Amino acid sequence: MTESSKEISVQNATAANTGGHTFCMLNSLGLDSLTTENTENVLNEALSAIVEHFGADHGYIVLKDDKGELVNVASTYRGEQGEAQMTASDAVIDKVMETSAAVLVENAMQNPEFVGDVSFQRFNIGTAICVAIKTSQSTAGVIYIDSTGSKWDNSHLEVLDFIGRYMGLALSEVRWQKKQRENKRLIATGTAALQLSHSVKNMLQMIGGAAEIVDFGLRTNQIHRVKKSWEILKPNLERMRKYTLEMLDYSKDRPIKPANCNFNRII
C-alpha cells in the first residue's frame, strides 16, 4: 500500500469514527421523546449531554416565547462558577439570532469582535460556541456553551451546529403535533356545534315566544303572564348558558397532567 493510500485510509477511518461518535451523541440527547408536556425536562437532559460531550463549563438553551422574547429554558453547569448568574454573552446570542449562523469565539476575553463583552471578562471565559436552533419557519433559539479551559475549533462548531439543526427539527415536530391537536379539537368543536344547532334553534324559539309574552304582560300590567313566561325562559336560558360554557371549556388547550389512578376501576 502506498503512502497516499495509507493516508486516505486513515482519513476515511477518522471520518467514519467521527460520524459514528456524532450519531451516538445525537442518540444520547433523547430528543425523539420530546413532547409539549416534557419539553423543559428533555432539553435540560439534552443540554447536560452536550456539555459533557464538549467538556464545557456552562451550557444554555435559549428559545423564543409566544411573545418573541428570548427565554432561558435550560441551563447546565459543570462547576460552581456561574451557577448564580448566566454566563452567556448577550452579544453572541444576538448575533446568532440575527444571522442564524454558528459562531465560535476563540480567546474570548481578547477577541476583537467581543472585546467589551462583560460576561467573558467577568467569568474568565476562554472559548464559546453558539449555534442556531432552526425550525421549519424561523430561528427558534440557540444552544450556547462556554469554557474557561477547553479549546474548540471548527470541527466542534460543525458538530454543535448539526445538533442545533437536529434539535430544531425535533421542536418543529412537537409544534406541528400541537397544531394538529388544536385543529382536531376545533373541528370536533365545530361538529358538536353543528349537531347542537337544532336544539339551540328550538330553545331560541321558546325564548323568543316567552319574551313576547313577558313584553305584553309588562305593557298590560298582567304580572301573572310575566311569571308564567319566566318559568319557560329561565330553564332555557340556563341550558343556553350551560351549552356555551361547555363548548368554550372543550375548545381550551390544556396541558396533560399525568396522575396515579386505579386502572382496574377504569376498565
Q: Both 81 and 26 in a single domain?
A: yes
Q: Both 36 and 95 in a single domain?
A: yes
C-alpha cell at 127: 472559548
Q: Both 155 and 27 in a single domain?
A: yes
Q: Both 77 and 117 in a single domain?
A: yes
- The sign of the torsion formed by the CA atoms of 65, 70, 72, 77 equals positive
pLDDT at 214: 83
- DSSP, collapsed to helix, strand or coil, labels residue 76 as strand
Residue 31 domain boundaries: 3-173
Q: What Cα–Cα distance (Å) separates residue 57 from each residue in 40, 118, 124, 228? A: 20, 17, 11, 78
Which of these three, 118, 143, 173, is where a domain ends? Answer: 173
- What is the dihedral angle through the alpha carbons of 146, 150, 151, 155, rounded to the nearest 10 degrees? -80
Tell me: the pLDDT tens digits for 159-184? 999 999 999 999 888 888 888 887 88
Number of structural domains in the chain: 2
pLDDT at 98: 94
Q: Domain holding 133: CATH number? A: 3.30.450.40
Contact call for residues 25 and 56 (beta carbons, < 8 A): no
pLDDT at 30: 77
Q: Both 193 and 94 in a single domain?
A: no
Calculate what percentage of the chain has a pLDDT beyond 90: 29
Q: Both 151 and 185 in a single domain?
A: no
Which of these three, 173, 204, 221, is where a domain ends? Answer: 173
Q: How many CA atoms lie within 13 A of 252 on its CB side?
A: 9
Which of these three, 127, 155, 173, is where a domain ends? Answer: 173
In angstroms, the CA 43 to CA 74 distance is 6
Q: Both 81 and 194 in a single domain?
A: no
105 phi, psi to nearest 5 deg: -110, 105
Q: Both 148 and 213 in a single domain?
A: no
Q: Both 34 and 92 in a single domain?
A: yes
Tell me: the pLDDT tens digits for 36-77? 778 888 999 999 999 998 999 999 999 998 888 999 999 988
Residue 106's pLDDT band (cuts 50, 70, 90): very high
Q: Both 145 and 223 in a single domain?
A: no
pLDDT at 254: 66
Q: Shortest CA distance to 108 belongs to which of 164, 156, 150?
A: 150
Q: Both 154 and 41 in a single domain?
A: yes
Cα-only R_g, the chain: 30
pTM: 0.66
Q: Shortest CA distance to 83 belongs to which of 123, 40, 53, 129?
A: 123
Q: Both 127 and 191 in a single domain?
A: no
